[in-house]
Amino acid sequence: MFDIQTSIQTVSIVITMLSVTFGVIIGIVQFRNLVKTRRIKLYTELFNKLTEKEMQRNFMEVLMIWKWKDIDEFFEKYGPEKNPDEFWKFASAISHLENVGLFVKEKLVDKEWVANLVDYMVIEFWEKYEPIITKMGEPFNNPCITPMAKYLYEQIKSMRPAVS
């Protein structure tokens, strides 16, 4: 026999279940969009910081203009004790790379995006300054005082095709 009350309850339960399922799906979609929007915003902030005039000037000076024969000469010319204003340029650049490396490691920004933006800067900087960074870690018995910058370098370097 057909019981109208049982049918209404069944239909009501099915509609409720579908509504809850639909609400969960909408929530998941909105959360994914929120995460994507936040990643884009963070990437934009990184890009804006890198393109600031002072940051560009400091980074390019440290990367392209600074010259030295050995580590001792570097510290004589640009070290924190001898020339703190110049050393600040180096410290600012490495700190920025350290932060970007952390964002990449924690997957807050996409490493391909970062690589597209600054791959040459990261690779050139790290390869030029790795001995200096290693020397700076010696008093602390630490071979790398900037592990996230090193991580960033390794990630970006691994994305480049091997040159034969």
pLDDT tens digits, one per residue of 106-150: 988 888 888 888 888 899 999 999 999 999 988 888 878 899 999
pTM as predicted: 0.74
Cβ contacts of residue 93 below 8 Å, gap of 6+? 58, 59, 62, 63, 125
> Where do the domains of the chain lie?
1-50, 52-164
The predicted-structure confidence for 69-112, as pLDDT tens digits, reads as follows: 999 999 999 999 999 999 999 999 999 899 899 989 998 888 88
Residues 68/74, Cβ–Cβ less than 8 Å = yes
